[in-house]
Amino acid sequence: MGPELVPETEYKIRLVRDRLKTSSDKQKSYADLKRHEIEYSVGNLVFLKVSPWKKLPPELDCIHDMFYVSMLRCYRSNPKYIVPVEEIEVRSDLTFKEQPVQILNRDIKVLRRKSIPLVKVLWHNHGTEEVMRKPKDTIR
C-alpha cells in the first residue's frame, strides 16, 4: 500500500476506460445498422407520431411548428384509407364512435373451461379486409 498502488490504479482505470469505449463502439455499430437517413422537403406530407396521452386540441392552432425528425413518418397515399371527414363525427378528445353495419359470420371459440361466441363484423367506413372478430356480448 504505497507508491506502487498509484500505477496499478491508473492501469485499471485505463483498462476500464478502454473496455467501456469498445462496448460503446460495438453498441453504436449495431444502432447504425438500423439507422437510415430520412430527408423531407417543403410540401412533403408526413404523419406526426404523438403519444396517446398527448391529445391534440381540435383547433390544432397551438401546435408548435418544430418537431424531432424521429417523430415524423412518411405519408404514402392509399385512396382506400381516405375517409371524408364529414362521415365521421370526431369528438373533442379526437376519438370517434364506430358503427357496425353487418354481421358477416358467427363462430364459437372453445377454451378449456368456457366457450366464447364470436361474430365477424363489417364496420361503417371500413373495407371487408378490415373485418374484426368481436365477442358476441360486446355487439349490440
C-alpha cell recorded at residue 28:
453504436
Q: Is the pTM value of this prediction over 0.75?
A: no
pLDDT tens readout for residues 45-94? 887 776 654 565 566 556 666 677 778 888 877 776 666 655 667 777 77
pLDDT tens readout for residues 89-140? 777 777 777 777 788 888 888 988 899 888 888 777 665 555 555 555 565 5
> Using CB atoms within 10 A of its CB, is residue 72 exposed (0-12), middle (13-18) or buried (19+)?
middle
Q: Are 72 and 47 in contact (CB under 8 A)?
A: yes
pLDDT tens readout for residues 15-45? 999 999 999 999 999 988 888 787 888 888 8
**53 — phi, psi (to 5°)?**
-80, -10
| One-character DSSP codes across 84-130 | -GGGS-B-TTS-B---EEEEEEEEEEE-SS-EEEEEEEEETT--GGG
Q: Are 112 and 87 in contact (CB under 8 A)?
A: no
